[in-house]
Amino acid sequence: MSCPFNAESLAQLKAFTSFCQTRPELLHTPDLLFFKEFIESFGGRIPEPKAKPQKMDDTKPESPTLSDEDLPDLEEQSDPESDLELDMEGCIEPDKFDESQKMGDPDKEPTEEEQDQADEIKREALSELGNGNIEKAIELFTKAIETNPKLAILYTKRGQAFLKQNKPNACIKDCTHALELNPDSAAGYKFRGRAYRLIGKWEEAAKDLRQACKIDFDEQSDEWLKEAQPFALKIENHRVKQERKKLDKEEKERKERLRRAKEAHAKAAEQKQKGEESGAGGRAPEGGMPRGMDDFMKLMQDPEIMEAFQDPEVAAAFQDISSNPANIAKYQSNPKVQALLSKLTSKIGGGGFPGMGGMPGMGGMPGMGNFPPQDDGLD
């Protein structure tokens, strides 16, 4: 029976299980409950999580009983990256980018003789690299690059030499150029991935090392991938969590704005009805408000119109117009206000409502002098 998973999926699964072996307490988290139940279904046992020692600082341990909904104010005040803690052990201070790092003439077309010379220099450089003479090896690789700048392996091997000197950025620059010349260079991905790992760029490291194993699997690349993969997954999960929180927050705010808008318009309709019944805008018939006013209030509770009034800019503009219909001239160049005026005009159909005066530019729509002011909830 053949395995239904490809090498990349198996590498990811292997990295995940290796990480769980070193951090078994994570299997008690809700997100990994399915995996815990899977292990226990075969008779396995997950060690109980160890109690975390309290740190001797001002940081308070996170309470496991509180959800995101229980702490909305704290969530807004805290740094969204504050709960992402990564172990930076083994990382080094990155070297500064060296502008003098020679990359060869990209327009040069080496002759056959120059190609042979570059190969000879390369063999000498590899020998020096193998003997631990890093500086000499870099010097020879640079000379070979100047002779034949089209040979990707020269940049890859010089990048490896820079890596031995703890110069990850120089290595990244060389390997990136090598991959531009040869996108299938497993060594280019391997050494660049290792360089990214040394400066704590875990996602980039895991991506490159995964690609190196996919092109040409070797144990060292796999071992380096095991180091980077857990941190890369943690960062990715954190990003997804933060994005979900952001979307949830935006949806809650949208619903809250709509709720407040509905309340404001309902309140305005109630106040208008009371005013009509008391004789402020004409005696209402037995059935309630005058027929024209009743139609107008129904129009203002139209979902499409209510949605438009959720925009604070539009609400403020119409409040200004309601105080003085002549102010409509100030908003002739405002596309939002003009769009809403067009909607109102189209829904009215050119008619007007009695007892409300006229408004210029509305095709016969009644004025806004008696229009109820916008509630503060729309701001």
pLDDT of residue 211: 95
pLDDT at residue 358 above 80? no
pLDDT of residue 357: 41
Do residues 75 and 67 touch, judged by C-beta distance below 8 A?
Answer: no
* CA contacts within 13 A on the Cβ side of 335: 0
Domain boundaries, the chain: 89-217, 245-378
- CB proximity list for 249: less than 8 A, separation 6 or greater: none
Helices (H) and strands (E) in the chain, counts: 14, 0
pLDDT digits (tens, 9 = 90+) for 24-35: 777 777 777 777
State whether residue 224 is helix, strand or coil. Answer: helix
Phi, psi for residue 342 in degrees, rounded to 5:
-65, -40
pTM of the model: 0.48
The class level of CATH for 89-217 reads: mainly alpha
Do residues 310 and 258 touch, judged by C-beta distance below 8 A?
Answer: yes
Among 245, 197, 194, 196, residue whose Cα is nearest residue 221:
194
pLDDT at residue 194 above 90? yes
pLDDT band at residue 172 under the 50/70/90 scheme: very high
pLDDT at residue 1 above 90? no
pLDDT of residue 284: 47
pLDDT digits (tens, 9 = 90+) for 55-113: 333 433 343 333 444 333 434 444 444 456 676 777 888 888 777 799 989 899 999 99
